[in-house]
């Protein structure tokens, strides 16, 4: 049994939902799992045998706190078996849903001084009714450019939960 720490950075909550699904899958395999917001994660690293970090993309960028956390805790992260996953709407497209084909994972690999053992990419959730006025307009424009749904009441969950569970199984083997 491993003590697995899953940390997440999320804007709208889908990354947290994915972290919770990973938790359920790993706990079913007898691992002890703690899930926490990245902001609280530093204090929890010392108790972990492995770490998984998940982060969402908004307007083409990871939140700055992700790279701040990695820089502050790089030494500890490098000593642990580790995984990283990105959640973004670009991953809804079949040719952009793997670590090798997703532009945000490529960006992560270039910007991060920490290189985890395992990488994953998951499509997120589009939820226009939950967005504020400006976010809704900008995201609709991005979706229009990328030929995605633009109806202002559209809610589409693109996350492939089977892929999330396969990723959890791969994390269990770290």
As a whole number of angstroms, the distance between CA 20 and CA 34 comes to 9
pLDDT in tens, the chain (174 residues): 899 999 999 999 999 999 999 999 999 999 999 999 999 888 899 999 999 999 999 988 999 999 999 999 999 999 999 999 999 999 999 999 999 999 999 999 999 999 999 999 999 999 999 999 999 999 999 999 999 999 999 999 999 999 999 999 999 999
Domain ranges of the chain: 3-124+159-172, 127-158
Q: What pLDDT sits at residue 100?
A: 96
CATH topology of domain 3-124+159-172: Rossmann fold (3.40.50)
| Alpha-helix residue ranges (DSSP H) falling in 42-132 | 64-79, 103-111
Q: What pLDDT sits at residue 1?
A: 82
pTM: 0.94
Q: What pLDDT sits at residue 97?
A: 96
Long-range pairs for 20-29: beta carbons < 8 A, 24 or more residues apart: 21/161, 21/164, 21/165, 21/168, 22/52, 22/54, 22/164, 22/167, 22/168, 22/171, 25/164, 25/165, 25/168, 25/169, 25/172, 26/168, 26/171, 26/172, 29/169, 29/172
């Amino acid at each position: 049994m491993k003590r697995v720490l899953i940390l997440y950075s999320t804007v709208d909550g889908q990354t947290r939902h994915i972290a919770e699904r990973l938790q359920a899958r790993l706990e079913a395999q007898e691992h002890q799992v703690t899930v926490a917001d990245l902001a609280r994660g530093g204090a929890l690293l010392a108790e972990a045998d492995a770490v998984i970090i998940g982060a969402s993309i908004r307007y083409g960028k990871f939140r700055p706190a992700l790279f701040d956390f990695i820089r502050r805790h790089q030494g500890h992260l490098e000593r642990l078996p580790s995984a990283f996953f990105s959640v973004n709407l670009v991953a809804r497209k079949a040719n952009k849903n793997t670590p090798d084909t997703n532009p945000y994972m490529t960006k992560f690999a270039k910007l991060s001084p920490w290189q985890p053992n395992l990488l994953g990419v998951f499509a997120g959730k589009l939820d226009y009714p939950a967005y504020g006025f400006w976010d809704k307009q900008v995201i609709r424009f991005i979706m229009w450019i990328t030929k995605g749904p633009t109806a202002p009441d559209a809610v589409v969950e693109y996350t492939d939960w089977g892929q999330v569970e396969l990723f959890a199984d791969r994390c269990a083997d770290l």
